[in-house]
Structure 1
Amino acid sequence: MKNVLFAAAALAAVSAPAYAQEASNFGGFKVGATVGYDSVNLSYDDLDDSKGGFLYGLTAGYDYDIGTLVIGVEGEVSDSTVKETATDVLVDGDRWKLSAGRDLYVGARLGFPVSQNLMLYAKGGYTNARAKLSVSYDGDSASEGDNLDGYRVGGGIEFANAGNFARLEYRYSDYGNYSYDGFNTGIAASRHQIAVTGGFRF
């Protein structure tokens, strides 16, 4: 998937000069809503486990169209339905649940217009995800939330016309190894997402 996106971006960079004199529809402020598929991955030594769910959120930003390139900044707040449950982990009858929470992102993107209404782009930036761990046993329960810092990279294709835009993108987020109270657990957390976003430009 990544190779396809990079190849498409390279093709767009070659094609873009043909549209240098045309005014595209990719400049200005934008707001939109995002939905898609979210897959959270946890790995430790030989253990590698992924869980999928529904992604939803809101995005806003600004794009500056300089003709052959579009340079932009954007932010996103999203949430996910991804949950992982395990039983009998430490003792018989215990129940552990790890839930993915809100995810904050801020970053930049570089777009390559291939026509007045169509653009390929790459993006990257900082992401901060919330995770919640809940444990129950013999009628008692406890929960603990934590924030995970990481980076996100991705790319996609966007269509814009008459003040509206829609895009399809893939993004990968890496949060490194999870630490609890300063202790490195050695558990690496990452996620893959395929998102569809639609909204308005001003």
Structure 2
Amino acid sequence: MKRFAVAAVAAIALATPALAQDEATFTGFRVEGLIGYDVVSTPAISDQDGLLYGVGIGYDFNAGPVVLGVEADVTDSTTKIAGIVSDRDLYVGARVGTVVGQSLLYAKAGYTNARLESPVGNANFDGVRLGAGVEYALGGNMFLKGEYRYSNYEADLSRHQVVGGFGIRF
């Protein structure tokens, strides 16, 4: 996990400020590709990790000194827990942030639903996701993002994720 977190921070830090010559705007519709590190925890089995990947959409607007937004994503994971496969994860929620230079710092919260697959059938788990992150404007309506997410599901299932993304605003 530490290597991925360092790589995500380095990718954001190395994004060339010269690419973002116009003032950054963090409003409007956005689409993004997501990739990251996923850790699923259950009380009976030790933490298991894997690769997370997926897509997200959202809409952000200025509300005075803050940026408010709604968002949704669908992700999948390679995480396996004792023969149980962590399948898709759906999320819908809101975020609030503030613009600092070419970056948007934000916090998010919303509903999430995870599905686990096993040889005897599938199970869905409802939960709550909390997170925080940063988007960095690259210019040309493109952005990089990095965020941390914590999801708490029913049946004592939880998930920690470190996610990076690349997106475009329309």
TM-score (norm 1): 0.70
Unaligned runs of 5+ in 1: 1-22, 86-96, 135-142, 178-187
- Give the distance between the partners of 1:164 and 1:125, measured in 2 at CA: 25
Q: Which amino acid aligns with 1:122?
A: A
- Identify the residue that residue 163 of structure 2 maps to in structure 1: 195
- AA aligned to 2:116 is A
Q: Secondary structure at the match of 2:47?
A: strand
Find the partner of 1:151 among 128, 151, 156.
Answer: 128
Deviation at 1:157, TM superposition (A): 1.0
Unmatched 5+ stretches in structure 2: 1-22
Counterparts of 1:172 and 1:126, CA distance in 2: 12
CA drift at 1:48? 5.5
**Residues 139-183 of structure 1: CA deviation (Å, up to 9, x unaligned):** xxxx20011100100001111132101110000000021xxxxxx
Deviation at 1:49, TM superposition (A): 1.4
Q: Distance in 1 between matches of 2:135 and 2:32?
A: 13
Q: Which residue of 2 aligns with 1:31?
A: 31
State the alpha-carbon separation in 2 of the partners of residues 133 and 200 from structure 1.
36
Is 1:176 matched up with 2:161?
Answer: no
Identify the residue that residue 49 of structure 1 maps to in structure 2: 46
- Structure ID, larger Rg: 1
Match runs of 1:1-202 below 5 Å: 24-43=24-43, 47=44, 49-85=46-82, 97-115=83-101, 117-134=102-119, 143-160=120-137, 161-177=139-155, 188-202=156-170
| Conserved? CA contact 1:132–1:144, under 8 Å | yes
Is the Cα–Cα contact under 8 Å of residues 24 and 67 in structure 1 kept in the other structure? Answer: no
Distance 2:123 2:117 in 1: 6
Q: What letter matches 1:29 in structure 2?
A: F
Q: Aligned letter for 1:83? A: K
Q: Which amino acid aligns with 1:133?
A: S
Which ranges of 4 or more aligned residues in structure 1 deviate by more than 3 Å? none
Native 8 Å contact 1:34 1:198 kept in 2: yes
The answer as to whether partners of 2:133 and 2:146 remain within 8 angstroms in 1 is: yes
SS of the equivalent of 2:154 reads strand
Q: Percent identity?
A: 46
Aligned to 1:5: none
The one-letter amino acid paired with 2:46 is D
